[in-house]
């Protein structure tokens, strides 16, 4: 009896569509509301080029004029600027006889899609984390940290010099929200490392009742959806102890678009080696709204798309929205 191959149980076109559907369905980023699928982004991600221009009108300014029969009104113009999103070009290949054997169950398409959906979700979260590292590095360098609340120990060692004031708390969260001033209520979600998250748990500050539709299993804090991820940036310094990054988000802070990939899924086989290959490619957009991609440098091989190191580079980002229209803020703590 001939052995079952991946190509025997997989129809690439069907699987590609199903896998993308499952990826969106299982995404913590989407279910929490932080990332918002955008039909327009889907269209733009399917066009040519590696960047997408997103023009927008800036807000109106100034005050009204008093009517008088002795003078005409002064007409004002409206300013235009543009955001720019970067098309992400990513791929992954798997190859093994064991993979084909493991996936040859009663519903192999679902088995493959379930495995890859979780993998792509983790990969998307890593890509977003890299992007936001760059976004906030730009904020520190060029916007006087006006979206960053840093309460870490500034000198000495946290173990000897730190206090509760350097740890996450309701005060720290509120002080971070107020970075957006009277637009603070736009921030409805929190992406956090498990260490500061555990402190909130010990303080009995987390509500595990599903009181809002964005609750994805980690509970809510002050009404904010919690998303826990240990890939959140940390910095270990001998003089200050560990620095933990927490991000506060608003609904749709990040736009997502899935482009059409010419060959999104395919299989191949090395008959002499007896190895089956499963290859998956994606062209998509995952863009923090209002932070323009200004491509200063691309170190990835070939330079066709940024890798995560490029995304974390402050030189590749510039804020173009008014601060109060940005739906992201950063909190730095020692735990």
The segment with the largest mean pLDDT, out of 30-34, 158-162, 213-217, is 30-34
Quick count: other Cβ atoms within 10 Å of Cβ 113? 23
In this structure, the answer to whether residues 24 and 93 fall within a common structural domain is yes
Instruction: Tell me whether residue 64 is in a domain.
Output: no
Reported as half-sphere exposure (CB side, CA atoms, 13 A), residue 125 has a value of 24
CA torsion angle for 307, 308, 310, 316 (degrees, to 10)? 120
The segment with the largest mean pLDDT, out of 118-122, 202-206, 262-266, 322-326, is 322-326
Tens-place pLDDT, residues 12-44? 666 677 667 777 766 788 888 889 889 999 998
Q: What are phi and psi of 107, to 5 degrees?
A: -135, 75
Instruction: Tell me whether residue 150 is in a domain.
Output: yes
What total number of domains does the chain contain? 2
Residue ending a domain, among 250, 282, 302, is: 250
Closest CA to 266 of 132, 95, 148, 110: 95
Closest CA to 95 of 1, 5, 2, 3: 5
In this structure, the answer to whether residues 118 and 16 fall within a common structural domain is yes
Instruction: Tell me whether residue 73 is in a domain.
Output: no
* pTM as predicted: 0.85
Tens-place pLDDT, residues 104-150? 544 454 566 567 878 888 999 999 999 999 999 999 999 999 999 99
Q: Which tokens is 203 given? A: 């303080």
In this structure, the answer to whether residues 245 and 160 fall within a common structural domain is yes
In this structure, the answer to whether residues 116 and 179 fall within a common structural domain is no
Q: Concatenate the DSSP letters of all residues of 95-151 into one string.
A: E-HHHHHHT-SSSHHHHHHHHHHHHHHHHHHHHHHHHHHHHHHHHHHHSTTTTEEE-
Instruction: Tell me whether residue 62 is in a domain.
Output: no
In this structure, the answer to whether residues 230 and 274 fall within a common structural domain is no
Q: What are phi and psi of 249, to 5 degrees?
A: -125, 155
In this structure, the answer to whether residues 209 and 226 fall within a common structural domain is yes
In this structure, the answer to whether residues 125 and 267 fall within a common structural domain is yes
Instruction: Tell me whether residue 264 is in a domain.
Output: yes
Instruction: Tell me whether residue 276 is in a domain.
Output: yes
In this structure, the answer to whether residues 245 and 260 fall within a common structural domain is no
In this structure, the answer to whether residues 26 and 107 fall within a common structural domain is yes
Residue ending a domain, among 250, 278, 293, is: 250
CA distance 290 to 143: 14
Instruction: Tell me whether residue 195 is in a domain.
Output: yes
In this structure, the answer to whether residues 159 and 213 fall within a common structural domain is yes
Residue ending a domain, among 221, 250, 279, is: 250
Q: In terms of residue numbers, what domain contains 23?
A: 6-57+82-129+254-321
In this structure, the answer to whether residues 156 and 241 fall within a common structural domain is yes
In this structure, the answer to whether residues 11 and 27 fall within a common structural domain is yes
For range 284-305, the mean pLDDT: 86
């Amino acid at each position: 009896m001939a052995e079952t191959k991946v190509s025997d149980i997989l129809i690439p076109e069907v699987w590609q569509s199903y896998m993308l559907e499952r990826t969106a369905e299982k995404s913590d980023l989407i279910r929490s509301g932080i990332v918002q699928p955008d039909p327009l982004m889907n269209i733009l991600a399917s066009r040519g080029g590696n960047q997408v221009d997103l023009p927008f009108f800036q807000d109106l300014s100034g005050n009204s004029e008093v009517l008088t029969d002795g003078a005409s009104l002064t007409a004002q113009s409206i300013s235009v600027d543009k955001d720019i999103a970067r098309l992400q070009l990513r791929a992954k290949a798997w190859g093994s006889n064991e993979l084909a054997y493991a996936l040859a169950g009663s519903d192999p398409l679902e088995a493959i899609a379930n495995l890859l959906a979780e993998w792509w979700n983790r990969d998307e979260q890593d890509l977003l984390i890299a992007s936001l590292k760059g976004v906030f590095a730009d904020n520190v360098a060029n916007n006087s940290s006006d979206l960053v609340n840093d309460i870490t120990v500034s000198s000495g060692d946290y173990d000897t010099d730190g206090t509760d004031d350097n740890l996450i708390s309701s005060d720290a969260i509120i002080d971070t929200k107020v970075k957006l001033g009277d637009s603070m209520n736009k921030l409805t979600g929190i992406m956090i490392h498990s260490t500061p998250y555990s402190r909130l748990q010990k303080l009995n500050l987390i509500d595990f009742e599903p009181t809002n539709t964005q609750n994805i299993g980690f509970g809510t804090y002050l009404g904010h959806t919690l998303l826990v991820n240990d890939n959140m940036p940390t910095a270990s310094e001998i003089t200050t102890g560990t620095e933990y990054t927490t991000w506060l988000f608003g609904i749709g802070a990040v736009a997502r678009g899935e482009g059409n990939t010419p060959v999104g899924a395919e299989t191949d086989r090395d008959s002499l080696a007896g190895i089956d290959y499963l290859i998956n490619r994606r062209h998509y957009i995952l863009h923090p709204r209002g932070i323009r991609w200004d491509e200063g440098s691309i170190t990835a091989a070939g330079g066709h798309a940024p890798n995560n190191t490029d995304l974390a580079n402050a030189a590749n980002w510039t804020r173009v929205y008014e601060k109060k229209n940005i739906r992201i803020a950063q909190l730095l703590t020692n735990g």
